[in-house]
Every structure is written in C-alpha cells, then in structure tokens.
Amino acid sequence: MRRVLIVDDDKEMCEELSDILGHIGYETETATDGGKALSLVERNAYDLVLLDLKLPSVGGLEILRRAKRILLAPKVVIVTGSSLVLTEESDAELDMDSKLEIRRLADGIVTKPFSIDELLEKIGPL
C-alpha cells in the first residue's frame, strides 16, 4: 500500500485529505506540527509527503530539504496558501532564493484553495 504523510497546521485539512486519500487506497498519517513531521519523515518510509510551508516549530522548507536527503526520498508535493510566483514582491515571507529552492526540490506545487482533481494530478502515479 502506498504511504502518504500529510503535513498541514490546519487539522481539518489533514483530516479531509486523509479521508479522501484513504478512500482511494492510500495509507495516510498526519502531522500538524513541523517538528513531528520532521521526526516522522526521518523515521518512516513514505511514498509521498503532502507538505504545507507554514508550520509551527519547523518550517516546511526545512522538512522539504531533509526529506530530499533521505536515501529513498519520497515524492514531495507542496500544498500551500503562499504565493510561489517567482517575483521579489509576491510574498514577503519567502525570499527569491527560498522560492527557487522549493521549486527545485519539490515534485509539485498546489496552491490553496485547490480541487481534489488538481491535487491528484500533481500527485500522479506513485
């Protein structure tokens, strides 16, 4: 069974995505805190990580960096409300270098709000 870690500080978002993905055959785990997510990523094998960028304790970019260093790195799809448009003015929370690094490391990016079809398209085959 394909294993998915859903990481978002919004507990309802985690639960909704877990229910939807569970119904189509994924085994899911959730984390609403960056520290917990990082611990799970480093201790468990996942096929996919759905990752928000704005998280308590450890940010999504650090989790993305660490996930991609794992020997059998999971596919990581960023699920965010932040703009990752590559302009200096678009989002004061992320500098241009961070945006470029996210685009380079992530396997896909979905901007909230999104449709399930859009998310499944970004996830693709695992």
- Which 3-state string (H, E, C) describes 29-75? EEECCHHHHHHHHHHCCCCEEEECCCCCCCCHHHHHHHHCCCCCCCE
What pLDDT, in 10s, does the model give residues 19-77? 999 999 999 999 999 999 999 999 999 999 999 998 999 999 999 999 999 988 999 99
Confidence at residue 92, expressed as pLDDT on a 0 to 100 scale: 52
Confidence at residue 86, expressed as pLDDT on a 0 to 100 scale: 44
Query: What's the rounded Cα separation, in Å, for the pair 88 and 104?
Result: 17
Query: What's the rounded Cα separation, in Å, for the pair 61 and 117?
Result: 25
pLDDT at residue 79 above 70? yes
pLDDT at residue 87 above 70? no
- Report pTM: 0.90
Confidence at residue 90, expressed as pLDDT on a 0 to 100 scale: 45
Residue environment code for 85-98, b if the CB has 16+ CB neighbours within 10 A, otherwise e: eeeeeebeebeeee
Read off φ and ψ for residue 3, nearest 5 degrees.
Answer: -100, 130
Read off φ and ψ for residue 28, nearest 5 degrees.
Answer: -115, 150
Q: Name the token pair of 9.
A: 């500080």
